[in-house]
Amino acid sequence: MAEKARVQATGAWVYDGRVCNILAVSRAFGDWEFKQVGGLSKLLQAGVQREYWDQSWADKNSFTSDPIIVEPAFSATELCDDDELLVVATDGLWDVCPQVRMPTFSICMFFCPYALLVLCAFSSIDVGGRHAFCKK
């Protein structure tokens, strides 16, 4: 919730987990339309053109700073002898694969030398908008 509050403090909004109804991440190197004063005003105008909102709404809104920043968010975790697995992944993985399936999949990858090939094969198979292995 702290990240959502940080984004909202800039004048932006978060709807359905997306910054300004568009971007699913709040920290990124690219996405220049979410950075710099000129890019943000263009973003509001693009929303009017795409009929996401009307001109009067765009005129009432402004950004005090960039809602998307490049500063990384990180946490430190102390591992212990009982820990069996540490998964480091980007938001793209969690968008298509529920966390509950990750331990099983990771153990499979560890013990099966061909698991990466299987992952590549599954990632090319789209089932209802989800990768076959990670189908929710």
Average pLDDT of the residues of the chain: 76
Q: Around 86, how many Cα atoms within 13 Å sit in the side-chain half-sphere?
A: 9
Q: Return the H-helix or E-strand segment holding 126.
A: strand 126-127
- Residue 125, pLDDT > 50, answer no
Read off the pLDDT of each residue in 116-124 and give the average, rounded to a whole number.
Answer: 51
pLDDT at position 37: 60
Residues 94, 42 contacting (CB under 8 angstroms):
no
- Residue 43, pLDDT > 90, answer no
CA 21 to CA 48: how far, in whole Å?
A: 13
pLDDT at position 56: 93
pLDDT at position 130: 47
